Every structure is written in C-alpha cells, then in structure tokens.
Structure 1
Amino acid sequence: MKGIYKILTTLVLIVGMVACSDQLEVENPNNQTTFDFGDSETELREVVIACYNRIRLDGTFARVGYTLDAVRGDEVWNSSQQWYLEYDNFNSPGTIGIGDEWPWRDNYHVVNRANFILSNVDEVEMSENAYNEIKGQALFLRSLAYYHLATYYQDVPLITDYAAYSDLETLYSSNNTQDEVFDQIEKDLTEAMNILPSRDAGGEWAEGRATSGAAAGYLARALMFRHKFDLALPILEDIIAGTYGTYALTADYGDNFRESTENNSESLFEVQFMDFGTGGTDEEWTPVNISRVATQGHAVESNFASQDLGSWGDLAGSPWLYNLFKAENSTDGRLDPRLYWTLVSYEPEYSNYTDISTAAYPEGDPRSNIVYQAEITESPRSNIAQGGLSIAKFTNARNNIYASITNGLQCGVNIRLMRYSDVLLRAAECINEISGPNQQAIDYINEVRERVALEELQLADFPTADHLFEQIANVERPKEFGCENGRGIDLIRWGFFYDAARLQQLTEHGYYVTDGTANTDALTAATASNSSFNTYTPGNEYFPIFQGTLNANPNLVGNSANKNEPADKWDARPIVN
C-alpha cells in the first residue's frame, strides 16, 4: 500500500508541474501599464495631454510653483507672514514642503511623462508632421520643467531616458551641474523650435499648444540666463520678424490678464485653465489626485488677491513698485494703465474712468484700451492683519466675473508665462549687452511704452550700457511684468545677489510695513517694518533641495542653499541713476 501511495503522490506532482507550465494568463485591457502603452500615435498624443496636465499642478503653475519666483523678487513680499515667509526671507531650512519639495516633485512629473514620449516616439510609425508635433511638444514641456528646476534648485538630476526609471542605479540619479542642465535645455529647445508648427497654423496651435514661437522664446531666455546674448538676439529678432508665427502687443494691456482674452496675439505660451465655474469639484493639488472631476483652475488668485475680497492674502506688491508706477504718468497726464492691472490700489482718478478709455490713448483712438471699473472706493488690504497692497494680475479684482473669491483651484484666468513684450525688452537688453545703447534698442523699448502712452525714450539720455541697463532692469521690466513669474530669475542672471550695492538696492526695493493698511508710502530703513532681503545669506537665492529627497537618494547632494555657500556666477553692472 505504501508503494501505491508513493506512486500516486509522484503522479500528482508531475501533473501539477505540467499544469503550472501551461497556465492561463489574462490581461486586463482596462489596466494598461507603460509596458503595453505608447506604441501608437494615438497613445503618444494622449501622453502629450498628460504632460500639459502636469504643468497645471500646485508645484508647477497652479499656485506655489508660479508664485515662489515672484516672492523672491523685489516686487512682492509675504503679507501673511506665514506661508511663503521662509522663501520671502531667503532662509528656508530645507524641510518645508511648499518650496523645497512641491515644485521639484511636480516638475519631475512633467519630465517623466515627456521622457516616456521621447523614448518611444522613434519606434512608432506615423507621418512626419505627427512625429514633429508629438516630439516637439515633449521637448518643449521637458525643457520648461528643467528651466524652472535649474533656476529654482540650481544643480538637479538630468534624466532624459525613460528606461532610467526601471533601474535603481539610474533612478537614484546624482546632481548634474546647472550648466549641464542648460546644455540639454538649449539642445531640446533648438530642435523643438525647428519642428513645431507656429501659432499661424491655427486651431489648437493658436489656442494653447506649445509652438515654435514658444520654443524660440524660451530658448532665448535660456541663452540669456547664461549671458549668451549674441546667440539669443538673432532668435529674438526672428520672433519679431514673424519667423515663428505672428505676434503683436495687444492694444489693451489688460487683455493679458483677462479670462475672456486668452491666447491672444501677445501670448507666446500660457498655461490653460478652464473658465471659472466650468470645471469639476475635486481640487487636484498633487499628482496623486487623478479625479475625473477635477476643478481645472488655479490658486494663484488665492495668494495674490486681498483678504478683504475673500482670498488667503499671502502675498502683496511692494510699495517700491507702486511708487515706480506713480513716478511717470502717461502723455495725457493720467496714470500708467499697468498700475491698475498690477496692484489693487484705489486711485481717485479711477472714479472718472468708468466706461471711458484710460490713460493710454484718447477716446476714439483705435488703440484706446482699458475701461476702468470703479467698484472699490479705497485700496483693499492684502492681509487683514499685516496689510499690504494686493496683487491684481490673474485675479478677479479687475475681471469682475464673480462676486467673491472661492479659494483653492478655482480661478480660470490662464497664466501667461511668456508675452511678446518680453521678446521686445529682451531684444533691447541683448543689443545693449553686445554693443551698448543704439536706436534699435530704444525703439524696441518704446514699442512697449507706446502701448500705455508713456513718453518715448531718447537715445541721447543713455550715454552708456550701464544707463540703459538700469532703465530696462529697474523701470521697464518691473512695470511691464510686475508681480509675474520671472523677476527672481532675472535678479540671479543679472548678478544682483552677488554685489553689495545691488543687494542694498534690492533691500530698499523690498521695504514693507506691517501696519494693517494698504500702505503705499515710499519707505526708508527708518519707516519700514522690514525688508525681505535683510535676512538673505549667500547661496539662498536658490531654494534648498528638500531634506526628505536628499535622505531618500544617497547619490544626491544639497545645493548652495542647503550648504549656505555662495553661488555667485555673474558680475552685476554698477548702479547708475
């Protein structure tokens, strides 16, 4: 009997092993993975859309990722004295998620998706046009993410192959130098610039897709960050000439911040948000949330707007910026219209502007622009406790769409990341850096000034490159782009953090008072409560890499902010009046 049992047991084992070698495998078609996705044009186009989705997160451009650069500039201060305070004061310990981790995390989500496309697109059969469209957008969006990673965190891992994520040795990448990252950005944007359609192709290419013009504009930005002015200028001149699509200043400066005038003639690239009230209900703050009913809006308004009007009241415009606007009126004597669209100050003059054209041009002129609304009779406070001037851009303060602010990812005003006015002012800056002031540089600046009817600049008033640079850096750019993303990056590339006189100038620009009012006084060290730049220490013009990220990746080391070490790279031009 024992022998029979042994024989039966052996047969059972043999049958079992044979059955295991021929088991049924069933794949769930509704649960695709990266191993069985991305082998068709249709699927790669879906991933392109997923890339755009990731630039609409909190850490990219839906709130923190956008406003962090503004708060490290001299035009914005932290009126809540809570959120963003360490970034306003340049002293984050590297353990705070909002600035040390979230932009890093969310921009690498963009990189991850773009790498998936770029690692698969050569293997998929499609037309040349389809190939160029898919690859070009992926190159642009990866470059956009790396541009902000490198200008926020200095030395970051450069990952360009999707296969790197499948191996721990390559997944836990070490730092690349900032120059190595910018080398890749320049390479990618050069290719994207040459293969993407222009906005003139119409359809989606004129309504928010990354275009050849967007790639050219960001390539010029990247080149100028490393002082390659001689390479940036021809690209900027080609944009002006229409090589990469037809661009022009809008007649109304306010059209760049309205929900109803998005993707206009001035826009090189903007982040698309759905109009207020048309999105879902779930707020998609992090990459983990993949709700089908996400809100589709941004929370920049919640940071910028006034607590008196319903926002969180975290950030305020500097009194320096306000007084810069007030120092120069338009040619008909009225205020520079950009003040109205930049800061929420009430000016008695506005009461006379209801339903008539403003400062820029007389009524009836085809260039007549903004129609002022006189809903407020005094300047609202940015923060109820601390005060400050609230910021108007990308908020409802001047859009008048809804009665009160709904905080969170609700605002539908597209975030304009690059405008044609930036092209003109950058072209003037490049000319000045290459050969000093000339009439062409002055003409480019005057084109921007003419829109708001400011008196034309005269070449004779700028005897040296230092004089014209001062005008561009501390008059033209802050008034045109006040409180937008990019000022902090400019201060780094201009070397302002690395020069004692320039740092003192920034300190004076950054004076604010926490008196609970919307104070507009021209402040001094004696009358100010503080300046954001009083606590700056070398190296902290960059944001530290999150300590949790450093702990998780043994190959990663901290940057200049983590180490509190100088990161000076550029010499600043001397200050002139």
Structure 2
Amino acid sequence: MKNIYKILIVLALVGGFASCNDELEITNPNNQTTFDFGDSESELQEAIIACYNRIRLEGTFARVGYTMDAVRGDEVWNSSQQWYLEADNLNGPATFFMAEWPWRDLYHVVNRTNFVLSKVDDVDLSQDAYNQIAGQALFLRSLAYYQLTTYYQTVPLITDYASYADINTMYASNNTQDEVLDQIEADLTSAMQMLPSRDEGGEWAGGRATCGAAAGYLARTLMFRHKFEEAYSVLKDIIAGKYGTYALTADFGDNFREDTENNSESLFEVQFLDYGTGGVDEEWTPVNISSEATQGHAVESNYASQELGSWGDLAGSPWLYNLYKKENSTDGRLDPRLYWTLVTFEPEYGTYTGLKTAAYPDGDPRSNTIYQQEITKTPLSNNAQGGISIAKFTNARNNIYESITNGLHCGVNIRLMRYSDVLLRAAECENEINGPTQTAIDYINEVRRRVALEDLKLSDFPSADALFEQIANVERPKEFGCENGRGIDLLRWGFFYDADRLNQITEHAYYVLDGTANTDELTAETASASSFQYFYKGHEYFPIYQNTLNANPNLVGNSANKNEDNGPAFFEKGYTVRPVVDLD
C-alpha cells in the first residue's frame, strides 16, 4: 500500500508541474514588442506621440542638433573655444564627437516613423484617422531627413522598417543627396494632401504637424535644389491660406516666449513643457523615456551668458549686432529684433514709454533687466573669452526666473518655421524668377513693417543681384539671426564655393577673444580670428562619425571625411552663386 501511495504522490506532482508549465506559457501583456504593438488605432496614436518625443532629444532639437547649424552660420561663433569648436571652424575630423549626436538621434526619428508607416496600412481606420497618423509620420520622417542630408550630405535612405530584420539590408549604404531630397519631396507632397490645416485641426493641431508645416518644409527643400518656380507656387499657396491661416504676430517677441507658443506665425515648432512644470529627471539622450523627465531643452544653456549661470558656449557676432544698429525704426527706436536676439545693454531700452511692444515694455525698468537682474553693461557670453550672449529661445527677456538652471529645463518652444520665413522666401523666389519687382519688395516690407522699419523702394535695387544681397545679408539675418537655418542657407546659396562669398562670410564671422562683449565692427587687423578662416573644403557638411563608419561596412565617408571640394558638383547642376553687391 505504501508503494501505491508513493506512486500516486509522484503522479500528482508530475501533473501539477505540467499544469504549471501550461500557465507559464501565457504572454505578459506588459512586455510588448514591435511585433505585437501598433495593431490598433489607439496604439498607433501612442506611437505617433513617441515619434514627436524623438525630435525633443539632445541630438535633434533640444540642444546640439539645433545649435550645430547655428554655429555653422556666419552670425554665431564658439565663445567657449571648446565645445562646438570643430563645428564652428568647419574643419572637424571624423573623430569629432559631436558629429555623432544629430546622426544618432535623427535616425531615432526615422526608425519610429518607419515603424508607424509599416503598421498603418494594416489597421482598420477611418480615412481621417489614417491620414492624420500616416501624414504626421511622413512629415516627421521628412524633417529628420532634411536635417540629416543638410548636415551630412550623403546618408542612408531607410524607408522600409522590415529591412532592419535582415542582416543583408540592416547595414544600409549611403544614398546621394538628390535621392534623399527626392524622398523628402515625395513624402511632404503626400503629407500636404493628408494632414488637416491648423484651422481644420483645431485643438488637435496645436503643436502637431499640419499640411501648412508640410508645405513650408517642401518649399525649403525645393529651394535647396534651386527649384524656385515650384517652391514659389507652394509659398504663394501658403500666403493665400490654402494650408491654413497664417499671419505675423504684432509683436516679434511673441515668437520667443512660453505664453505665446503655437501662435498665428508658427508653421511648426518643437514642444517643450514650460519651465518648472515637468519632472525632475534630466534625461540626456538616447534615454528620454522617464515619465518624470524635465521635458525642457538646453539651447538656453549654450546661448545664455556664463556670467548669469549658463555654459556660455555660443555668442552672436559683432557683425550681426552692427547690422541691427545701422537702421532704426521709423519712430527712432532700435530695431526690436536686436532686443530679442542678442543680450546687449542699450541705454535706449530704458527710455521708451507708452509703446505696446514687449521689446520695450511701457517704460518698465525690466527693459534693462536680464534674468531679473538689473544691468548697466552687456553681460559676457563666456567669462574667459567674452562675446555677446544670445537671447533667442532663452528666458533672458522673459524674466520668469532669477538665474539659469543649466540642462534640459528651458520651456520656450523651438519655432522651426515661422510665417516670416514664408514671406522672405517668396521674395527670394520672385526675385530669382522675375528679377527685382514690386511684388518681391512688398513681401519684404510686410516683414519690416512689423518692427516699424522704413519700407524698401524698388528703385533702390537696380538688379536681381542687389535685391538678393538685401535678402541674404540684411533681411534674413536680422529676422532669423541665431536660429537654426542660416548654415543651410549658406549651403544652398553656394557661398562656400565662391571666393568672394567665402571672403564675405569670413568677414561677417570675425570675433575678438579679449574677455569683453565686443561690439566693434571688426576687420582682419582688429579681430582675433574668424570661424571661416579655418574652413577645409568639404567641411561645409559635418563628417560622418568614425565609429559609425566602423560599425557599418557598407557606409562610406562624405565630403568632410574626404576633404573633398563640392564646388564642381554644385556648378555642374547648373546652380549659380550671385556676386557680392555693395549695398552702401
């Protein structure tokens, strides 16, 4: 009997273990993978939000990815002479560590948008839901590739999510810049047709990609390729309201404050939580998944004054400062854009009264206050090297806190495209197609009137070259100084491939390492150096990082890796560089 009992106990245990094993085969619903996620509308909506999260990384638009192009321009220089130095001097080797970050984080965007696009066709969706989800993914992928190809020239064009699963296709090779731009044009054209306008989208459209955002970036892409007639058609449609209602804000400063975000002028901006409203985890990439993340950006930490707590890495050029000072508003004021672009002390700021513009707030003593501190001189960008600190996309002029908290904390949304860019691009296209016309002048004057500058007159511009000079080296830098995009402008205009133009931007970029916030109009004799005097051919693009090349056997270096002159290829396409014109 004892043996029978033993046998029964063993059988019971075996049966129990077998039943337990069956239970353990149940899939944990909290351990989803890309294979079992994205099969419903709600999950795709979550995935799209995750795509937006990727444009808020350090290498996309939360710091380095945004400021790398600003320092490539001629109106921003590296005041720390440490970080960004190779990007500023346009001579970085393949081991330049910062060249990795935009590449890495922009491909995060590509990866997530490709995932959404791989799933969306297989989910039962209404037409509106399908268009919104797919349209946003197409726009965000295009945004990433626009940055990638204007930063790195020849990059892998990856549009098939399934390709990551095969070792033979996972390691993608370089595509030509034209192939990448072709894909961007195709994706943005589709997104324009799929996405609602800001008017139609209502509250949903606040902070999201709309058909207007897609149209604006399509125009940018076309102009990069000198397709001026096609770009002009898109720009005129934006102006006519085909893609939503856009207008300049009455106050230029509304484009750089927390409480006036997603306004009438904004075609697209990157969303950051207002200062102090996020969590406490300061997540640097590639993590950025904490529900307690600060959800701010660190552009302020690069742009603001080291005297007032920032890192003091970047400064505005004396050339840009003097450009603002050469032309006052019709009522005698300084151009308000100086106030919002550069952190300078100007005695005039304290004398304006009764003016309803935040640039000079009703005689408020804050006119001469930076981060709630009264100043009597321009604060230094960098304590050791000097320089003029930058106000845009910081809270220098907003007075919401006393001192700068470095890192991912600033809550001012990064406006990537504004309606003023549409107007000035329309003026440029009109001038390229028809020469100087009153229509081109009218577009420019609409932007100038916002800051009460005197209207330009057609009779002052006898040639298309002269009007181009005004647009390229007066109107655009004063409107967009220290914003992302100036370096891309220099690329598309071919300024790196013409000796006179390269000499011109070298003069624009003069700086002094004298420990002061120098505002002199500098010359070769009085300047310490210019960023562009160190320029190596091919380094108008950033090098592909060596570790990235090592990891991918199918990837080759670009012109910066090879020190290769891109001038001949530029001219072989039939592009031209307009000659320098003296406007004085």
Normalising by structure 2, we get a TM-score of 0.92
CA distance, structure 1, for counterparts of residue 351 and residue 227 of structure 2: 47
Deviation at 1:377, TM superposition (A): 1.7
The question of 1:344 aligning with 2:349 is answered: no
> CA 1:379–1:278 in structure 2 vs 1: closer, same or farther (change >3 Å)?
same
Deviations 1:365-388 (A, max 9, x none): xxx999945432210000000000
CA distance, structure 2, for counterparts of residue 162 and residue 418 of structure 1: 29
Deviations 1:42-94 (A, max 9, x none): 11110100000000000000000000000010000000000001110111111
Q: Which amino acid aligns with 1:58?
A: E
Q: Judge conservation of contact 1:317–1:343 (CA < 8 Å) in 2.
A: yes
Q: Which amino acid aligns with 2:37?
A: F
CA distance, structure 2, for counterparts of residue 62 and residue 345 of structure 1: 25
Deviation at 1:168, TM superposition (A): 1.5
> CA 1:327–1:27 in structure 2 vs 1: closer, same or farther (change >3 Å)?
same
CA distance, structure 2, for counterparts of residue 362 and residue 302 of structure 1: 25
Pairs within 5 Å for 1:101-500 = 101-353=100-352, 356-357=355-356, 372=367, 374=369, 375-500=374-499
CA distance, structure 1, for counterparts of residue 22 and residue 88 of structure 2: 64
CA distance, structure 1, for counterparts of residue 531 and residue 183 of structure 2: 33
Deviation at 1:26, TM superposition (A): 2.3
The question of 1:57 aligning with 2:65 is answered: no
> CA 1:385–1:26 in structure 2 vs 1: closer, same or farther (change >3 Å)?
same
Aligned to 1:68: 68
Q: Judge conservation of contact 1:357–1:371 (CA < 8 Å) in 2.
A: no
CA distance, structure 1, for counterparts of residue 45 and residue 451 of structure 2: 41
CA distance, structure 2, for counterparts of residue 202 and residue 180 of structure 1: 32
Deviations 1:385-412 (A, max 9, x none): 0000000001111011111000000000
Aligned to 2:10: none
Deviation at 1:359, TM superposition (A): 10
Q: Which amino acid aligns with 1:572?
A: V
Q: Judge conservation of contact 1:355–1:373 (CA < 8 Å) in 2.
A: no
Deviation at 1:97, TM superposition (A): 2.4
Name the SS for the 1:260 alignment partner: helix
Q: Which amino acid aligns with 2:111?
A: N
Aligned to 1:532: 531
Q: Judge conservation of contact 1:70–1:483 (CA < 8 Å) in 2.
A: yes
Deviation at 1:28, TM superposition (A): 1.0
Aligned to 1:573: 578
CA distance, structure 2, for counterparts of residue 97 and residue 120 of structure 1: 35
Deviations 1:450-495 (A, max 9, x none): 0001110111111111000000000000000000000000000000
Q: Judge conservation of contact 2:342–2:391 (CA < 8 Å) in 1.
A: yes
Name the SS for the 1:434 alignment partner: helix
CA distance, structure 2, for counterparts of residue 137 and residue 273 of structure 1: 18
Aligned to 1:90: 90
In structure 1, runs of 5+ residues without a counterpart are 1-14
CA distance, structure 1, for counterparts of residue 35 and residue 454 of structure 2: 61
Q: Judge conservation of contact 2:353–2:361 (CA < 8 Å) in 1.
A: no
Q: Judge conservation of contact 2:341–2:392 (CA < 8 Å) in 1.
A: yes
> CA 1:125–1:431 in structure 2 vs 1: closer, same or farther (change >3 Å)?
same
Q: Aligned-pair RMSD on alpha carbons?
A: 2.1
Deviation at 1:360, TM superposition (A): 9.1
Deviates more, 1:531-540 or 1:350-359: 350-359
Deviations 1:276-297 (A, max 9, x none): 0001111121123421211100
CA distance, structure 1, for counterparts of residue 510 and residue 380 of structure 2: 17
Deviation at 1:201, TM superposition (A): 2.3
Aligned to 2:559: 560
CA distance, structure 2, for counterparts of residue 220 and residue 370 of structure 1: 42
CA distance, structure 1, for counterparts of residue 67 and residue 434 of structure 2: 34
Deviation at 1:308, TM superposition (A): 1.1
Deviates more, 1:198-207 or 1:134-143: 198-207
CA distance, structure 1, for counterparts of residue 208 and residue 529 of structure 2: 43
Deviation at 1:500, TM superposition (A): 0.3
Name the SS for the 2:268 alignment partner: strand
Deviation at 1:329, TM superposition (A): 0.7
CA distance, structure 1, for counterparts of residue 299 and residue 361 of structure 2: 33
CA distance, structure 2, for counterparts of residue 197 and residue 421 of structure 1: 21
Name the SS for the 1:101 alignment partner: helix
CA distance, structure 2, for counterparts of residue 168 and residue 30 of structure 1: 28
Name the SS for the 2:482 alignment partner: coil
Q: Which amino acid aligns with 1:533?
A: F
Q: Which amino acid aligns with 2:56?
A: R
Aligned-residue sequence identity (percent) comes to 77
CA distance, structure 1, for counterparts of residue 354 and residue 518 of structure 2: 28
Deviations 1:335-360 (A, max 9, x none): 10000000001001011136744699
In structure 2, runs of 5+ residues without a counterpart are 1-14
CA distance, structure 1, for counterparts of residue 104 and residue 203 of structure 2: 28
Name the SS for the 1:77 alignment partner: strand
Deviation at 1:572, TM superposition (A): 1.2
CA distance, structure 2, for counterparts of residue 70 and residue 126 of structure 1: 41
Q: Judge conservation of contact 1:54–1:287 (CA < 8 Å) in 2.
A: no
CA distance, structure 2, for counterparts of residue 373 and residue 209 of structure 1: 36
CA distance, structure 1, for counterparts of residue 146 and residue 468 of structure 2: 24
CA distance, structure 1, for counterparts of residue 480 and residue 400 of structure 2: 23
Pairs within 5 Å for 1:42-53 = 42-53=42-53
CA distance, structure 1, for counterparts of residue 136 and residue 326 of structure 2: 43
Q: Judge conservation of contact 2:251–2:357 (CA < 8 Å) in 1.
A: no
CA distance, structure 2, for counterparts of residue 355 and residue 424 of structure 1: 30
Normalising by structure 1, we get a TM-score of 0.93
